[in-house]
Amino acid sequence: MDDIDRSLLSLLEEDCSTPLHELAVMLACSEEEIAKRRQQLEKDGIIRRYSAVINWEQVDKGAVYAIIELKVAPERDHGYDRIAARISRFTNVRNLWLRTGTHDLQLLVKGKSMQEIARFVSEQVAPMEQIRETATHIIMKTYKENGVHYVEREDGQRLPFSF
C-alpha cells in the first residue's frame, strides 16, 4: 500500500466509473500498472464493491428507513458476533454496527412501509433470546449520506474571469 494505491482508492471511491486512461494520466502511471494495482486491491478485499450512491427517497416515495438500537446479552465464547451475523443476514438490514453507549448493536433498516419496519422489529428481532431491549428511530430526512449532500445547496459563484 503506497501513495499511488491510496490515491487510486480515493479516486475510485469518488467515482469508480473514471476511465482507466484518466486514472493512469492523473497518477502518472501506465494503464497496465493501474489495472494491475486495481486487481490486487480487489483481490485483497480492500475494494469491496463498485456501486452508485442513489437517493432512493426520490424514487421510492413510500420507503421508510429506521435506525434500530438493540441491547444484547453477549454469549459466552462468541460475544456479539453470532447474533450480529444472524441479524446481518436479513436483506433489509443495510448497515450493522457494534457500538459504545446505551445500546450494543445498531442497525439501519429499509422497509416499504412503517408496518413492515414494525413487523421486522416485533416479530423478527425482538423475539431473539439474546435481545433484551430495542429502540426504533424513524429517519425523517436525509441531508448527507456517504459524504454526498442530498439537499440542494446554493454554491458560491465565481467571476468568469479574474487574474
Partner 1 sequence: MLNVKTDNACHSRSEQKKRDFISDRAKVIPPSGIRRFFDLAGQMEDVISLGVGEPDYSTPWHICDAAITSIEQGHTAYTSNTGLESLRQELARFLRERYQVEYEPKSEMIITTGVSEGLDIAIRAVVNPGDEVLVVDPSYVSYAPCVTMAGGTPVSVPCAEKDRFRLSADVLMQHITPQSKAMVLNFPNNPTGGVMRREDLEAIADIAIDHDLLILSDEVYAELTYEGHHVATAAIEGLWDRTITLSGFSKAFAMTGWRLGYICAPSEITAAILKIHQYVMLSSPTMSQYAALEALKNGEEAMREMVREYHLRRNLFVDGLNRIGLPCHIPEGAFYAFPSVKGTGLSDYEFAERLITEAGVAVVPGSAFGASGTGHVRCSYAVSRKELSEAIRRMDEFIRSLP
**At 138, phi and psi to the nearest 5?**
-85, 135
Sketch the per residue contact string, 25 through 44, with partner 1: x for CB under 8 A, - otherwise: xxxx----------------
Q: For residue 147, state whether it binds partner 1 (rule: CB under 8 A).
A: no
Q: Which one of 77, 123, 152, 155 is in contact with partner 1 (CB under 8 A)?
A: 155
Query: Which cell numbers in the block locate residue 51?
Result: 456501486
C-alpha torsion angle, residues 145, 147, 149, 150 (rounded to 10): -20
Distance (Å, rounded) from C-alpha 135 to C-alpha 52? Answer: 30
Nearer to partner 1, 28 or 52 (CB): 28
Q: Which stretch binds partner 1 (CB under 8 A): 46-54, 92-100, 142-150, 151-159?
A: 151-159
* Nearest to 54, CA basis, from 129, 162, 142: 142
Question: Cα separation of 84 and 97, whole Å?
Answer: 8
* CA 163/CA 73 separation, integer angstroms: 65
Q: How far is the CB of 163 from partner 1 (least distance, A)?
A: 5
To the nearest whole angstrom, how small is the minimum distance from the Cβ of residue 33 to partner 1? 14
Q: Which is nearer to partner 1, 4 or 98 (CB)?
A: 4
Residues that bind partner 1 (CB under 8 A): 7, 11, 22, 25-28, 155-156, 158-163
